[in-house]
Amino acid sequence: METKQIFKTMTEIKAYQILIVDDDDLLRGVLVDVFKTAKFEVMEAMDGLEGLNIATAHKPDVVITGIMMPSMTGFEFFEALKKNMETVSIPVLIFSHLGREEDRQQALKLGAKAFLVKGMISPKQTVDLVLNLLNSKVYRVAINPDNFDASRFMEDMGCKTGGVLELTPDPDSDLSNFKARFICQ
């Protein structure tokens, strides 16, 4: 009689991939070091344009980006990720040096998972926040405009092409109730 292996060995567990995008060498370096220590596969970019190329090619599990950068700001980078069906569901955290309220509002409007202010959160807390985010259950379902009422739904949502329905289970339910968010392509 064969025994099935229940637990995966450490080499079989895929490390999370994170992309850190910021032109601040010190902040980026600290985050790279702390995430490598936490066994993440870390990619880094100095601006949004470089970050967009890396995100499109590698599709990381999560992205942390600064705001003010040369070539492409963090907000422009985030918007470009959201316009691409292959990167639309990558969770993004915004790191701010200034902590301005208008930046926080813009980050939340774009759908950032967190708005972090340099000096207000430790690198260890940042890792814990990202791990909690990645270990939470979120389902992303592609909407086919040719099925059932999907075309009418997308029209009502202001989408001209396909989209993604993001479902998060209600923690007080038995997977029968969800919080939903629709993301246009």
Give the pLDDT confidence of 106-142 residue by residue, as tens digits.
998 898 999 999 889 899 999 999 998 888 777 778 7
Token duo for residue 87: 């990167």
Which residues contact residue 74 at a Cβ distance below 8 angstroms, ignoring those fewer than 6 apart? 21, 48, 65, 66, 67, 68, 94
Beta bridge partners of 112: none
The average confidence (pLDDT) of the chain is: 85
Task: Please check whether residue 17 is in contact with residue 41, taking contact to mean a CB–CB distance below 8 angstroms.
Answer: yes
The rounded distance, in Å, linking the Cα atoms of 179 and 185 is 20
**36-66 per-position pLDDT tens digit:** 999 999 999 999 999 999 999 999 999 999 9
The rounded distance, in Å, linking the Cα atoms of 148 and 151 is 8
Task: Please check whether residue 67 is in contact with residue 55, taking contact to mean a CB–CB distance below 8 angstroms.
Answer: no
Task: Provide mean pLDDT across the span 176-184.
Answer: 79
**20-40 per-position pLDDT tens digit:** 999 999 999 999 999 999 999
